[in-house]
Amino acid sequence: MRLDKFLCECSGITRSEAKKKIKQGLVKVNDALAKDGAYKVDASRDNVLMDGVHLSYQEYIYYVFHKPKGCVCANYDALHDTVFSYVPMNPKEDLFTVGRLDMDTEGLLLITNDGEFSHNLLSPKKHVDKTYFALWDKPATEEDIKAFESGLEIGDDKPTKPAKLSFDKSNPTNVFITISEGRFHQVKRMSHAVGKEVLYLKRLSMGQFILEDNLALGEYREFTDKEMKYVKEYKGRHL
Ligand code: URA
């Protein structure tokens, strides 16, 4: 990538600001003053400093976000907070959410600018499991488990794929639901199909990505090295 473009991509400055930085002698490549914006940077080898600060180029960004209630999964909304009221977005980053959670749903949300990763994780062909905790208005029963296992009619052209419902008999309004699809309001509609309403909903996991206790509501963090390996696995699998 050209040096001037590299400076823009890494720091968010404009191309003309990048050119100015080079002219002012504020950019060094491998300890030598940079003179030419057209210099081809090898991001894996060259050490680029601007204003004395090392710049590293990360093509893609990946965050785990603990979504609170009250914000929508959209890049812009005239009425409500969006997830990007919590996760700052540099205009160059083009971040988006990997799938959506309803405004009143909490929990694990992945945010990235890597379209291939997002596509592969969401593709119905991949059957990536998503597990939710739900609080129902009525206690779950053994029949509900069977109904979830058989797939449910929820008003779409096809019944849902089999899903897993589990609960502890001592607290049967607290249920865990695992689905492999991502239909609109799917957990709420499946619950409704067995005569229950969802009073509270939280996503706990999506494939190998798990919401950990140490990420507070409204907080986000970058993927760990282990999670970056999952990214490679998801991207490596062909559909
Ligand atoms: N299912 C729902 O009904 N709502 C969500 O936000 C996610 C899954």
pLDDT number for residue 77? 93
Contact assessment for residue 186 and residue 134, using Cβ atoms and an 8 Å cutoff: no
Q: What does each C-alpha distance from 89 to 1, 60, 77 come to in angstroms?
A: 23, 13, 15
Q: According to the 3-state scheme, what is the secondary structure of 153-202?
A: CCCCCCCCCCCEEEECCCCCCEEEEEECCCCCCHHHHHHHHCCCCEEEEE
With a 6 Å cutoff on the Cβ, whether 181 touches ligand 1 is no
Contacts of residue 53, defined as CB under 8 A and 6 or more positions apart, other chains included, come to none
Residue to substitute in 187, 196, 202, 211 for testing ligand 1 pocket (most ligand atoms within 8 angstroms of CB): 187
Query: Which ligand 1 atom is the nearest neighbour of the CA of 191?
Result: 3
pLDDT number for residue 91? 63
CA of 37 to the centre of ligand 1 (A): 48
Q: What does each C-alpha distance from 173 to 45, 111, 211 come to in angstroms?
A: 56, 31, 22
Q: Ligand 1 atom 2: the closest Cα is on which residue? A: 185
CA of 142 to the centre of ligand 1 (A): 22
Please compute, for residue 142, the number of CA atoms within 13 A of its CA located in the half-sphere on the CB side: 0
pLDDT per residue rounded down to tens, the chain (239 residues): 899 999 998 888 899 999 999 999 999 999 999 999 999 998 878 999 999 999 987 778 999 999 999 999 998 899 999 999 999 886 666 899 999 999 999 999 999 999 999 999 998 888 899 999 999 999 999 999 999 999 999 999 999 999 999 999 999 999 999 999 999 999 999 999 999 999 999 999 999 999 999 999 999 999 999 999 999 888 875 54
List active site positions: 102
Beta-bridged to residue 135, according to DSSP, are 174, 200
With a 6 Å cutoff on the Cβ, whether 186 touches ligand 1 is yes
Residue to substitute in 72, 186, 189, 192 for testing ligand 1 pocket (most ligand atoms within 8 angstroms of CB): 186
Give me the long-range contacts of 139-145 (CB less than 8 A, separation at least 24).
139/172, 139/173, 140/165, 140/167, 140/172, 140/173, 140/175, 140/196, 141/172, 143/194, 144/194, 144/196
pLDDT number for residue 24? 96
pTM of the model: 0.81
> Domains along the chain?
3-55 (3.10.290.10), 62-124+210-236 (3.30.70.580), 130-206 (3.30.70.1560)
Q: Hunting for tokens 């069977």 — which residue is that?
A: 146
pLDDT number for residue 50? 95
pLDDT number for residue 15? 92
70: left (phi over 0), alpha (psi -120 to 50) or beta: left
CA of 69 to the centre of ligand 1 (A): 12
| CA distance linking residue 43 with residue 167, whole number of Å | 50
CA of 135 to the centre of ligand 1 (A): 13
pLDDT number for residue 239? 43
Contact assessment for residue 203 and residue 226, using Cβ atoms and an 8 Å cutoff: no
Alpha helix ranges (H) inside the chain: 3-11, 15-23, 115-122, 142-150, 186-193, 225-236
With a 6 Å cutoff on the Cβ, whether 105 touches ligand 1 is yes
pLDDT number for residue 107? 98
With a 6 Å cutoff on the Cβ, whether 101 touches ligand 1 is yes
Helix (H, G, I), strand (E, B) or coil at 127: coil
With a 6 Å cutoff on the Cβ, whether 102 touches ligand 1 is yes
Q: What does each C-alpha distance from 115 to 3, 85, 134, 201 come to in angstroms?
A: 25, 21, 29, 27
CA of 136 to the centre of ligand 1 (A): 14
